[in-house]
Chain A
Amino acid sequence: MSATAETVDQVKDLTADKYKYGFSTEIEMEFAPKGLNEDIVRFISAKKEEPEWMLEWRLKAFRHWQTMEAPNWAKVGYPEIDYQDIYYYAAPKQAGDGPKSLDEVDPELLKTYEKLGIPLKEQELLAGVVAVDAVFDSVSVATTYKAKLTEMGVIFCSISEAVREYPELVKKYLGSVVPYSDNYFATLNCAVFTDGSFVYVPKGLRCPMELSTYFRINAENTGQFERTLIIADEGAYVSYLEGCTAPQRDENQLHAAVVELVTLDNAEIKYSTVQNWYPGDENGKGGIYNFVTKRGACRGANSKISWTQVETGSAITWKYPSCILQGDNSVGEFYSVAITNNAQQADTGTKMIHLGKNTRSTIISKGISAGKADNTYRGLVKVMPKAEGARNFTQCDSLLIGDRCGAHTVPYIESRNPSARVEHEATTSKISDDQLFYCMQRGLSAEDAVGVIVNGFCKEVMKNLPMEFAVEAQKLIGISLEGSVG
């Protein structure tokens, strides 16, 4: 039996036990009543002690959402979601107003993050200094290095806090990139978002630390709706990373997040994601529905937004981190590795909308499919009439492991400016028996061989990850594909 033919059998052996973040934390929680209606929206807003304008915005979104229908154009299949059977708010119970400092954070929570390998202690340094905002179900439980960042003028806090403390900034930018009426899941998020991170980097500052948010879904039957807003003022730079995990549960859980990025003149945001939500078991039972809207606006001239994503988890991934290239000479980048194994489904890609003159975009997408998984790249490159001299380069590579999985590429190109140059390259390949045997003859186990080959395949994307996370992400790729070959 050839090595790839064995895949078919081996995949069956892959159990979800290999998902090492599948534990859950026993902690007393406070829930909003199950289901969704205006009262729940009000409840969430009240819990967050929000000003009236914020509540009004949520309600406007909620009312609009009720008139919308879930999108069905993506190449993913799942039973209809009962939105009344979900908790929209779940928070660890705490005495009083919540922790003022790290010392006051519930030790159970600190233990959870420790287990996940996320340091919530400021003295504990990884290879580099990383400030972390930790979001547990519906609330942010801790943000590290806050004082140090504040000193430099960087605002890094939970979005709930930002709504209260920096209402002018939030009012100005929230919903300015992804409007409340944008799409079904984003609109739902506008109504019920519970927490997330807020970053503002002031003019001319190059943020010296990596900023990071770690999202953890813990409670059962709970949806996570986080909202992230990052603003880089003129000439500012920030690198931001998000990580995500969830316990192993039999039912599907909904994660509908919105991320908005804004860069003003000469500013740059580098946004990296290592997504490792629970993917479900080998038969597709359980796992996270990851329905996310991420978009950045390069408002200013010469500004740049770069998305790098490593997507290994989730039962279903539906996300298209995009760039609106408004400012002249602005640059948008999208580097993606999406791995699907077993019954996972991913429909992911990007949109690059060229509005300004001489705007440039690069799309590098690497899709890896194993087991009976489906992996789709879906992307749009749109050049508007005024985008004189716009350029795009797109490369979509798919790698198949075994013969029951699928890879699909759906690129849309719309150019309305004759001076624009748009290039698209695509390849599909398989890990060959020759490659596997060659690696094994040099002493690598079958799994290590796949890890090495796949990491090689993804190299162009992986090299864009911040150093501190690149090693972790490489390992994750190996783990995600465990059991995919003999």
Chain B
Amino acid sequence: MSLLKIENLHATIDDKEILKGINLEMGPGEIHAIMGPNGSGKSTLSYVLAGRDGYEVTEGSVTFKGKDLLELEADERANEGIFLAFQYPVEIPGVAGMTFLRESYNAKLRHHGEPEADAMQFLKMVRAKAKTLNMNDDMLKRPVNVGFSGGEKKRNEILQMAVLEPSLAILDETDSGLDIDALKLVSEGVNALRNEGRSMLIITHYQRLLNHIQPDFVHVLAHGKIQRSGGKELALELEANGYADFAEEAA
């Protein structure tokens, strides 16, 4: 059974149609990459899946774990296992990273009718995971993303993902703004989270991220539709030829 099934998805923002009939099916444990030029609808797709306000689905359906995903609020989708690693992680002044993680983690437990986590054990668990991402205690005490460098912000996203253990992680241009070392660190963090129960949807412009995180499938998104799908070799082809091939297929 598929984990995520997107059928003929159309979505608009401010009455402008951005997604024009997306079809995509992902099985558990699969890694799919979505590549495409600027303005092709990549980020819109991630926001629509995560349930951001302001995006209207006009046609089509999204089924996640057999449920109608579009019926759920953003927080319910998160608690059901959808995680979006933001392209531009948001600053929340005054809220310590650890506090934010605990609130999120407990929200998920409550959603599943489980008791909240023991504070000490939770602290230990987060510290251990932070360490693998080269994040020290000081970063967990600082307010969420405030004054973080680009690399720190992205690592913080991966830490949240590690703690919340989603079944579908959407990585929205996680490679943007990262230097080579940071890219490597973040990729290692992501790879460590790969397992047969966790699917990932990796949104990127560039092949370089896919050198570090090997996808099972690659899709080209342009003009609001998936224009081509293939294996990881498709990414290399795109790297060589650019997106020019898809320009003429404008709707």
Pick out which of these stretches binds chain B: A346-354, A375-383, A448-456: A448-456
- Bound together, the chains give a CA A453 to CA B83 distance in angstroms of 20
Tell me the dominant secondary structure on chain A's binding face: helix
The reply to whether B93 and A457 contact each other, CB–CB distance below 8 Å, is yes
**B152: Cβ under 8 A from any A Cβ:** no
Q: Residue B89 contacts which of A1, A438, A444, A459 (CB distance < 8 angstroms)?
A: A438
Residues 81-101 of B contacting A (Cβ, < 8 Å): 83-84, 86, 89-95, 99-100
The reply to whether A444 and B107 contact each other, CB–CB distance below 8 Å, is yes
The reply to whether B95 and A452 contact each other, CB–CB distance below 8 Å, is yes
**A445: Cβ under 8 A from any B Cβ:** yes
The reply to whether A443 and B75 contact each other, CB–CB distance below 8 Å, is yes
Are A438 and B90 also in contact (CB < 8 A) when A443-B111, A444-B107 are?
yes
Closest chain A CB from B193 CB (angstroms): 16
The reply to whether A456 and B78 contact each other, CB–CB distance below 8 Å, is no
The reply to whether A453 and B95 contact each other, CB–CB distance below 8 Å, is yes
The reply to whether B93 and A456 contact each other, CB–CB distance below 8 Å, is yes
- Bound together, the chains give a CA A176 to CA B238 distance in angstroms of 82
**B8: Cβ under 8 A from any A Cβ:** no
- Bound together, the chains give a CA A279 to CA B129 distance in angstroms of 45
**B104: Cβ under 8 A from any A Cβ:** yes
Q: Residue A455 contacts which of B52, B84, B95, B164 (CB distance < 8 angstroms)?
A: B95
Closest chain B CB from A373 CB (angstroms): 21
The reply to whether A443 and B108 contact each other, CB–CB distance below 8 Å, is yes
The reply to whether A456 and B75 contact each other, CB–CB distance below 8 Å, is no
Pick out which of these stretches binds chain B: A68-76, A159-167, A211-219, A429-437: A429-437
**A250: Cβ under 8 A from any B Cβ:** no
Residues 143-186 of B contacting A (Cβ, < 8 Å): 143, 160, 164
The reply to whether A441 and B74 contact each other, CB–CB distance below 8 Å, is yes
The reply to whether A459 and B107 contact each other, CB–CB distance below 8 Å, is no
- Bound together, the chains give a CA A444 to CA B76 distance in angstroms of 9
**B188: Cβ under 8 A from any A Cβ:** no
Closest chain B CB from A444 CB (angstroms): 5
Are A459 and B74 also in contact (CB < 8 A) when A2-B54, A442-B160, A444-B107 are?
no
Chain A residues within 8 Å of B95, by CB: 452-453, 455-456, 459
Closest chain A CB from B125 CB (angstroms): 16
**A38: Cβ under 8 A from any B Cβ:** no
**B79: Cβ under 8 A from any A Cβ:** yes
Closest chain B CB from A429 CB (angstroms): 9
How many Cβ-Cβ contacts under 8 Å join chain A to chain B?
84
- Bound together, the chains give a CA A452 to CA B100 distance in angstroms of 8
The reply to whether A441 and B54 contact each other, CB–CB distance below 8 Å, is no
Residues 331-390 of A contacting B (Cβ, < 8 Å): none
Closest chain B CB from A486 CB (angstroms): 8
Closest chain A CB from B156 CB (angstroms): 11
Closest chain A CB from B231 CB (angstroms): 30
**B71: Cβ under 8 A from any A Cβ:** no
The reply to whether A442 and B94 contact each other, CB–CB distance below 8 Å, is no
Are A446 and B90 also in contact (CB < 8 A) when A437-B52, A441-B84, A456-B143 are?
no
**A6: Cβ under 8 A from any B Cβ:** yes
The reply to whether B53 and A456 contact each other, CB–CB distance below 8 Å, is no
The reply to whether A448 and B103 contact each other, CB–CB distance below 8 Å, is yes
Chain A residues within 8 Å of B53, by CB: 1-3, 6, 433, 437, 486
**B137: Cβ under 8 A from any A Cβ:** no
A432 nearest in chain B by CB position: B90
Chain B residues within 8 Å of A6, by CB: 53
Chain B residues within 8 Å of A2, by CB: 53-54
**A440: Cβ under 8 A from any B Cβ:** yes
Q: Residue B107 contacts which of A432, A443, A460 (CB distance < 8 angstroms)?
A: A443
The reply to whether B92 and A445 contact each other, CB–CB distance below 8 Å, is no
Chain B residues within 8 Å of A449, by CB: 75
**B73: Cβ under 8 A from any A Cβ:** yes
B47 nearest in chain A by CB position: A437
A5 nearest in chain B by CB position: B53
Residues 108-153 of B contacting A (Cβ, < 8 Å): 108, 111, 143
Chain A residues within 8 Å of B75, by CB: 440-441, 443-446, 449
- Bound together, the chains give a CA A452 to CA B107 distance in angstroms of 12
The reply to whether B92 and A442 contact each other, CB–CB distance below 8 Å, is no
**B50: Cβ under 8 A from any A Cβ:** yes
B80 nearest in chain A by CB position: A443
B85 nearest in chain A by CB position: A441
Q: Mark A447-484, 1 if CB is under 8 A from B, else 0.
A: 01100110111111000000000000000000000000
Closest chain B CB from A298 CB (angstroms): 30
The reply to whether A445 and B100 contact each other, CB–CB distance below 8 Å, is no
The reply to whether A441 and B50 contact each other, CB–CB distance below 8 Å, is yes
B86 nearest in chain A by CB position: A438
**A439: Cβ under 8 A from any B Cβ:** yes
Residues 1-34 of A contacting B (Cβ, < 8 Å): 1-3, 6
The reply to whether B94 and A456 contact each other, CB–CB distance below 8 Å, is yes
- Bound together, the chains give a CA A448 to CA B93 distance in angstroms of 16
Q: Would you give 11 A-B contacts (Cβ < 8 Å), ordered by A?
A: A6-B53, A438-B86, A439-B92, A440-B51, A441-B75, A441-B78, A453-B95, A455-B95, A456-B92, A457-B93, A459-B94
Please name 7 further chain A to chain B contacts, defined as beta carbons within 8 Å, in addition to the given A438-B92, A441-B74, sorted by A numbering: A434-B90, A438-B89, A441-B52, A441-B83, A441-B84, A444-B75, A446-B75
